[in-house]
């Protein structure tokens, strides 16, 4: 395998048709590069003239050592990591590609050095982190809920939801509230409610509106803001959704919103699901990713949608010398 750095202008042309997430696109990476600490480097592994593997990495070099991450911390990107594009369906060849690309990246950036902190959270399509385990990195499985909408009608999907969720959806349908997509104005309202919610709970919130606005605008048709307003036009709740070629992803918002004592958030998510069936911004989208199934309290709600539990993997440097640095990193990223 030949490992090369790709310029951002050539990145999208090398992406496959499927198997990547919204923040893997060149438009999103450009925004991340402008707001993340350190330097972004885009790597591709080649078989002849064809790219067969890709990964965006963010590198900070200091006198005390180097930090290599994907995604970069503190910017609200849940997953990034490698994209594999094997030319053969054979398992042996797919595993060989994965091993060679992982080895090439580890060697190129000296990720196994005692002076390098490496942390990567792979996307859900990256299902085999074993080459990193064999290289003595720590592998931790984490989970998300993903609702497949490709083979079911809205009524069928609703019947798979919990009884309490169906009741909440019906209750909101009887209210005089309006749910619409509102573009940047809606995204700003969602951002402000999210920031306020974190502040009320005395939790850190690292995202600036400047960054969120830049990302929302850069993603263009790959981003929508859904907003609930009462009959007077007052904001009740909202969600910002981002889209890959495969799935829609809950990105921001979803703070508890009520109108006349009725919570509106279940119907808000349901409206997103209905639009994925009837009017998706990208026709190939076939799933709704609720982004996260790792917090007991939140899982009790998200599991009501009848979605499948899907693993992805966190890959980190190991060893006692890394524990302090990793704790600092976890404080920043959550």
- Where the chain has pLDDT below 50, the residues are 333-334
Note whether 209 and 256 are within 8 A (CB): no
What pLDDT is recorded for position 204? 86
| pLDDT for 54 | 98
pLDDT score, position 69: 97
Contacts of 101 (CB under 8 A, 6+ apart): 1, 3, 45, 52, 53, 55, 82, 84
Residue 193 half-sphere exposure, CB side, CA atoms within 13 Å? 22
Q: Count Cβ atoms within 10 A of the Cβ of residue 183 and give its class: 0-12 exposed, 13-18 middle, 19 or more buried.
A: middle
So what's the pLDDT on residue 333? 47
Tell me what pLDDT residue 334 has.
45
Q: Class assignment of domain 2-137+317-333?
A: alpha beta
What is the location of CATH 3.40.630.30 in the chain? Answer: 2-137+317-333, 146-310
Q: Is the dihedral of CA 271, 272, 277, 278 positive or negative?
A: positive
Pairing assessment for the beta strands 83-84 and 65-70 based on DSSP bridges = unpaired
**CATH number among 3.40.630.30, 3.20.20.80, 3.40.109.10, 3.40.50.150, domain 146-310:** 3.40.630.30
């Amino acid at each position: 395998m030949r490992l090369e750095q790709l310029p951002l202008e050539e990145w999208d042309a090398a992406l496959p048709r499927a198997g990547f997430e919204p923040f893997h696109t060149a438009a999103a990476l450009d925004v991340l590069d402008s707001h993340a600490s350190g330097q972004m480097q885009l790597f591709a592994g080649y078989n002849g003239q064809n790219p067969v593997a890709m990964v965006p990495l963010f590198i900070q070099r200091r006198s005390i050592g180097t930090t290599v991450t994907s995604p970069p911390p503190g910017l609200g990107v849940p997953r990034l990591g490698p994209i594999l594009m094997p030319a053969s369906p054979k398992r042996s060849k797919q595993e060989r590609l994965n091993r060679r690309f992982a080895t090439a990246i580890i060697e190129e950036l000296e990720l196994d050095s005692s002076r390098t902190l490496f942390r990567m959270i792979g996307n859900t399509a990256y299902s085999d982190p074993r080459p990193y385990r064999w290289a003595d990195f720590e592998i931790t499985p984490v989970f998300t809920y993903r609702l497949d909408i490709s083979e079911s009608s809205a009524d069928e999907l609703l019947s798979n939801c919990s009884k309490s969720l169906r009741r909440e959806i019906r209750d909101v349908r009887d209210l005089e509230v309006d749910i619409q997509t509102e573009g940047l104005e809606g995204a700003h309202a969602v951002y402000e409610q999210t920031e306020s919610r974190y502040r009320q709970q005395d939790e850190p919130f690292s995202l600036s509106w400047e960054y969120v606005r830049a990302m929302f605008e850069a993603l263009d048709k790959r981003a929508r803001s859904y907003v609930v307003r009462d009959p007077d036009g007052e904001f009740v709740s909202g969600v910002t959704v981002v889209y890959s070629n495969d799935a829609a992803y809950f990105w921001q918002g979803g703070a508890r919103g009520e109108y006349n004592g009725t919570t509106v958030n279940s119907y808000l998510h349901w409206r997103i699901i209905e639009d994925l069936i009837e009017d998706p911004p990208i026709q190939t989208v076939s799933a709704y990713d609720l982004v996260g199934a790792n917090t007991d309290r939140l899982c009790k709600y998200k599991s009501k949608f009848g979605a499948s539990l899907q693993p992805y993997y966190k890959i980190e440097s190991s060893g006692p010398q890394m524990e302090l640095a990793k704790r600092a990193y976890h404080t920043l990223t959550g």
